[in-house]
Amino acid sequence: MPELPEVEIVRLSLSKNIIGKKINKVLIRNRNLRFKLKFSFEKHLKNKFVIKIYRFSKYLIIELNDKSFCIIHLGMSGTIHILKKNKKNVYTNTSFYHSPNLPKKHNHVEIFFNDLTLVYNDPRRFGFFQIVKNKENLTNRFKNYGPEPFDKNFNLDYMVNYFKDKKKDIKSFLLDQKFVSGIGNIYANEILYLSKINPKNSVKKLKKTQFKLLIKNSKKVLLNAIKKGGSTIRDFKNTLGDIGNFQKEFKVYGRQKLNCLRPNCTGVITKIVQSNRSTFLCKLCQK
């Protein structure tokens, strides 16, 4: 599943290509996504102008000129492709998952502009589109989500109060969108490694100094991933022919049985399973 940095890369790509442009037509080839697309979807988007594109957590939010919003979630396998008129795109994918080129199957939604077409591809169909008619409804849509790691409200006081009387392990909290929005499994592993915290540690055993490290390193890891263009688990190039490079900087994720990269540590990276997800750690320096 695309995590916050990958979705931010998509937002940046779309912002460069469709802001200020008019939606001429919408074609739905398959309405059966995670939430079935309503028959009013095409009518709502047609003839609207794209004003701005936001991202919250792992969601893309397109603001339209009637002050409504179109929310897009890429699910497990969703990708958005840009097809420019009169130009043979070598690479069409705006994100860093699956083929860099537009696949022949599973192209469920097409949004037409004067000079280009956006195509939503999703083999597993866990992604979705949702129309929200005003800012108040948009705020309510995300009211149960925690702050993003970049939010000023994601601070020591928030973390201490949230963890009060709780016993769950710290990695589960990092993946819980009600606690903090946008962190997925890859980056949770990297954040905990950088903070020298064992993923299985109960939050009640952690100290304030460790909370501060988690706050600092959540920002550091995610910002670095965005800077590096997202993480490419498979061989992939985006619409500019660039690959996501953050995977080259993984310190722990996917490195089971390899030596720990921390200076002066003689440990070996171990893979365990927590809540049906892969966890990678160095038991020697993540105590």
Six token digits for residue 150:
């970049």
Q: Based on the number of CB atoms within 10 Å of its own CB, is 165 exposed (0-12), middle (13-18) or buried (19 or more)?
A: exposed
Close Cβ partners of 159 (under 8 Å, ≥ 6 residues apart): 211, 214, 215
Q: Which of 125, 271, 277, 283 is catalytic?
A: 277
Q: Which of 2, 5, 100, 199 is catalytic?
A: 2
Q: What's the half-sphere exposure (Cβ side, CA atoms, 13 Å) at 89? A: 21
d(CA 94, CA 111): 15
Rounded Cα distance, 118 and 92, in Å:
9
User: What span, in angstroms and rounded, lies between the C-alpha atoms of 205 and 262?
Assistant: 24
Cβ neighbour number for residue 169 with a 10 Å cutoff:
17
Q: Reply yes or no on whether 3 is catalytic.
A: yes
Q: Is 194 helix (H, G, I), strand (E, B) or coil?
A: helix
Question: Which residues, including other chains, have CB under 8 Å from residue 177's CB and lie 6 or more apart?
Answer: 57, 145, 146
Residues 93, 98, 100, 106, Cα dihedral to 10° = -70
Opening angle at CA 37, ends 34 and 42, nearest 5: 145
How far is CA 214 from its chain centroid? 19
Q: Is 2 a catalytic residue?
A: yes
Query: Residue 197 carries which side chain, given as an amino acid letter?
Result: I
Catalytic annotation, pick one of 48, 58, 171, 228? 58
Kindly state the DSSP code that residue 181 receives in the 8-state scheme: S
Q: Which residues are catalytic?
A: 2-3, 58, 277
